[in-house]
Amino acid sequence: MIFSEHDLKREVTKVQPQMAIETTRELFNALIAHGVSETQLLNKSGINLQELQESDGRYPVTSHLELWKTGESLLNLNAIGLHMGAKSDPFSRGVVGLAFTASKDLQKAIDNKIRYTKILAEHISLEFEQNETAFSITYSILEGNFHRYEIEREFEGLL
């Protein structure tokens, strides 16, 4: 079978980015702990609780984003990412969270976070720059998957 460049581009755009399901599980549990009704959260977000609890695989970014939006709506809480980031637990983020927390210092923790980000989320990339007095982290999100929630959560969690 022969594919044209147009066919290949069309196939690539059909693939939805995935992320580690433990990130969605952590968000779900944090929203419940913050006072959201589990029943309302499941009904409005479309999350499958059994899949969320039993899977160790990948999860669609679009479903994760829907969970964020539903949580924000049910809590009526602006800057929800900052609130969830303040409660973020790296020990619930799988091997990447463990690599982050086991790092000998902040520099190594950030290096590990950048190195392993694609394990947590295919749609995110991080870049680190440093000079003599400061450092910066550039957080990029694949076009069509941008949302502020995860950026807020990520940087609050780093703090």
Residue 89 phi, psi dihedral angles, 5° rounding: -120, 110
State the sign of the Cα–Cα–Cα–Cα dihedral 103, 156, 16, 93.
positive
**What integer pLDDT is reported at residue 43 of this predicted model?**
95
Structure token digits, residue 63: 């479903």
Low-confidence ranges of the chain (pLDDT < 50): 1, 3-4, 6-13
**What integer pLDDT is reported at residue 14 of this predicted model?**
56
Nearest to 55 by CA among 17, 91, 87, 19: 19
Q: For the residues of 6-59, what is the DSSP string, one character each?
A: HHHHHHHHHPPPEEEHHHHHHHHHHHHHTT--HHHHHHHH---HHHHHH--SEE
